[in-house]
């Protein structure tokens, strides 16, 4: 069985749709060096291989890859051990990782030549232990569903922003099923789902632990003149404690949770799943659950389906060229 069949058989509802072939817009490569020659490498069975298919990568990154290596001089190659590419609607970020001191490096001296190798706006970032240099900056500018986003490579970014469009469409379609009041979102990141769903709710309360992500979400709200999103930097267990009034949070002093009337919750947890926060999620009538790990999602759903009915199940091939899959679920209270 292929990876789609393996995942589908784990759930007691037919898969509504499988979205395949999401070309990667975020990809990392190790490097292989031999007699002064440098090549991109991937790992297979814990060994580096340099002969691999690149058809899973979006055209803009795939076209830029050989041009970049051809234009790296000895100073840029020295102690370089990994290259990461991030492509958005407008921007291409190239992150060069080093095992050396880079604080005196003048990456701007190389920018003019390298920027001519792509039609996208190019950002070059050099990084080593506790050091980071970006030229001209590290901001990825993206446009989707009439929304402009800004984020950087330190945020969580879906491996395929092309497939991400299908994920947003799914979440929006779930939000339209029942009459909406307010939305609670956990693990909101830089606002990928938050801004897309905001027009369908009166108010949105979005939480995220990462300070950098929350800063970008607040910036994105300003860029798009979105005024119904309220944010707080809280981890999932803290959100649970806040709603249960276990303790007061200074980070919530600008928000009165009693002012919200939540009809929906959207969750996009890490690979470990919801854990104890599944009890918080059960409190809401309509659940939109995005998962990057079908195994932990199955464990969470077994608990959620004691109070809710699983109405929809879709698969997104975010991790093309791997065994991983992204899932989308929609549940309604029974």
Contacts of 67 (CB under 8 A, 6+ apart): 117, 118
Query: Tokens 């969750």 correspond to what residue?
Result: 267
Residue 10 has pLDDT above 90, yes or no: no
pLDDT of residue 329: 97
Residues, the chain, total?
Answer: 334
Contacts of 241 (CB under 8 A, 6+ apart): 247, 249
pLDDT of residue 283: 96
Residue 180 has pLDDT above 80, yes or no: no
SS (H, E, C) the chain: CCHHHHHHCCCCCCCCEEECCCCECEEEEEEEEECCEEEEEEEECCEEECCCCCCCECHHHHHHHHHHHHCCCHHHHCCEEEEEEEECCCEEEEEEEECCCCCCCCCHHHHHHHHCCCCCEEEEEEEECCEEEEECCCCEEEEECCEEEEECCCCCCCCCHHHHHHHHHHHHHHHCCCCCCEEEEECCCCCHHHHHHHHHCCEEEEEECCHHHHHHHHHHHHHCCCCCEEEEECCHHHHHHHHCCCCCCHHHCCCCHHHCCEEEEEECCCCCCCHHHHHHHCCCCEEEEEECCHHHHHHHHHHHCCCEEEEEEEEECCCCCCCCCEEEEEEEEC
- Report whether 295 contacts 270 (CB < 8 A): no
Exposure of 35 in the CB half-sphere (CA atoms within 13 A): 0
**pLDDT tens-digit readout, 306-326:** 999 999 999 999 988 788 899
Residue 1 has pLDDT above 80, yes or no: no
Annotated catalytic residue, options 150, 208, 238, 326: 326
Nearest in space to 279 (alpha carbons), one of 258, 297, 303, 295: 303
**pLDDT tens-digit readout, 77-105:** 999 999 999 999 999 999 999 999 999 88
Annotated catalytic residue, options 8, 58, 221, 292: 292
- Report whether 116 contacts 124 (CB < 8 A): no
Residue 272 known to be catalytic: no
**pLDDT tens-digit readout, 255-289:** 999 999 999 999 999 999 999 999 999 999 999 99
Residue 326 known to be catalytic: yes
pLDDT confidence tier of residue 9, bands split at 50, 70 and 90: confident
pLDDT of residue 2: 85
pTM, whole model, 2 decimals?
0.94
> 110 in the Ramachandran plot: left (φ > 0), alpha (ψ -120 to 50) or beta?
alpha
- Report whether 54 contacts 320 (CB < 8 A): no
């Amino acid at each position: 069985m292929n990876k789609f069949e393996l995942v589908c058989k784990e759930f007691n509802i037919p898969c509504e749709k499988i979205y395949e072939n999401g070309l990667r817009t975020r990809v990392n490569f190790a490097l292989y060096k031999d007699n002064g020659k440098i090549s991109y490498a991937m790992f297979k069975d814990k060994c580096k291989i340099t002969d691999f298919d690149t058809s899973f990568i979006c055209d803009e990154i795939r076209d830029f890859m050989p041009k970049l290596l051809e234009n790296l001089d000895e100073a840029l190659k020295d102690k370089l051990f990994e290259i990461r590419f991030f492509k958005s609607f407008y921007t291409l970020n190239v992150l060069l990782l080093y095992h050396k001191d880079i604080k005196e490096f003048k990456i701007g001296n190389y920018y003019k030549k390298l920027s001519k190798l792509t039609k996208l706006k190019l950002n070059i970032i050099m990084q080593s232990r506790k050091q980071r240099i970006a030229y001209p900056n590290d901001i990825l500018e993206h446009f989707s569903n009439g929304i402009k986003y800004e984020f950087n490579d330190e945020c969580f970014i879906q491996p395929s922003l092309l497939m991400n469009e299908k994920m947003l469409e799914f979440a929006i379609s779930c939000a339209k099923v029942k009459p909406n009041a307010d939305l609670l979102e956990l693990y909101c990141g830089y606002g990928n789902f938050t801004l897309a769903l905001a027009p369908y709710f009166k108010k949105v309360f979005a939480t995220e632990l990462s300070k950098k992500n929350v800063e970008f979400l607040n910036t994105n709200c300003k860029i798009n003149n979105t005024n119904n999103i309220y944010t707080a930097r809280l981890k999932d267990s803290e959100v649970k404690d806040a709603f249960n009034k276990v303790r007061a949070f200074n980070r919530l002093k600008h928000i009165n949770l009693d002012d919200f009337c939540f009809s929906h919750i959207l969750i996009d947890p890490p690979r470990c799943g919801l854990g104890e926060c599944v009890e918080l999620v059960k409190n809401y009538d309509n659940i939109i659950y995005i998962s990057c790990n079908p195994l932990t999602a199955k464990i969470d759903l077994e608990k959620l389906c004691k109070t809710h009915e699983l109405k929809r199940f879709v698969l997104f091939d975010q991790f093309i060229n791997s065994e991983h899959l992204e899932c989308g679920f929609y549940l309604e209270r029974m």
